[in-house]
Amino acid sequence: MFERLKQVFGAGGPSVATTLETPRVLPGGDVVGTIHVVGGTRPVSISRIVLGLSTMVCVDGDTQLDEVVFARQAATDSFGLAPGEERDFDFEFLVPYEVPLTIVAGRRLEGIHLGVRTELEVARAFDRSDLDPIETEPLPAQAVIVKALLDLGFRIVRSDVEHGVLRGVSQTLPFYQEIEFHPAAKYAAAINQLEVTFVTAPTATQVVLELDRRGGVISGRDVFGRFVVDHSRIADTDWKGQLDDWIMESCRRVGIF
């Protein structure tokens, strides 16, 4: 069961492994699991065990990826560990609503890496050797926007996580996910791609759209749009029609249709 025990803090130090009962979750849900700790060859005082989510973030365009550990939560208080002693700690880890999605429309998004990082703290030093992958699927408010785009003929190409904050958007994490779509034939003469970002909260999801323009009479920046999906009123809107109207109107407004 714990075949992936990892020894930390050098030879003779304690080992730690985490097993997950819920390797696939929704934003705002709980990851449930058990942390298994085994003492080394000498007694040690563990200050605490901390869990966090790990993802790879673009910090310099597409040229540099850095690991970011976020939403860190203490899983234990301090405890002593005798040589060879084994301890188990059950946990429920709350996943933030803004977590990157790894699966969209039943498809695994290449380039998105997400896992639970288990950090063992001894004498104010952390070891981050244990990483357990998890998958995240869209909430209904996110899924309905993706479905509308797919129904319009858009196609998911790739996704990445960008460092920074979006202007005019209420955001709690220092990064955001972009899901890139190739345009349907109807829009292909006007745009190269459509990028979609979800910034989700318990009751509503902010949707940010970016049209990468192919060209036209007026040069300048890409076209941005933003709207909010109320989680309690998803069924009240024809999202396919609304997105089609917005894309067409945006293209006409800047003279590329």
pLDDT per residue, tens digit, the chain (257 aa), is: 333 444 455 566 788 889 999 999 999 999 999 999 998 888 989 999 999 999 999 987 666 889 999 999 999 999 999 999 999 999 999 999 999 999 999 999 988 999 999 988 886 556 666 789 999 999 999 999 999 999 999 999 999 999 999 988 989 999 999 999 999 888 888 888 999 999 999 999 999 999 887 654 444 456 788 999 999 999 999 999 999 998 888 777 655 55
Q: Do 108 and 167 have their domain in common?
A: no
Burial 187-218 (b: 16+ CB within 10 A, else e): beebbebbbbbbbbbeebbbbbbbbebeeeee
Q: Do 83 and 152 have their domain in common?
A: no
pTM of this structure? 0.89
Among the listed residues 177, 29, 170, the one whose alpha carbon sits nearest the alpha carbon of residue 97: 29
Does residue 1 form part of some domain? no
Q: Do 165 and 67 have their domain in common?
A: no
SS3 235: helix
The alpha-helical segments, DSSP class H, found in 8-156 are 140-151
pLDDT > 70 fraction of the chain, expressed in percent and rounded? 86
Among 106, 121, 136, residue at a domain's last position: 136
The pLDDT of residue 254: 56
* Separation CA 231–CA 233 (nearest Å): 6
Domain that holds residue 84: 6-136
Among 78, 104, 136, residue at a domain's last position: 136
CA-CA-CA-CA dihedral for 231, 234, 237, 242, to nearest 10: 70
* Separation CA 253–CA 63 (nearest Å): 34
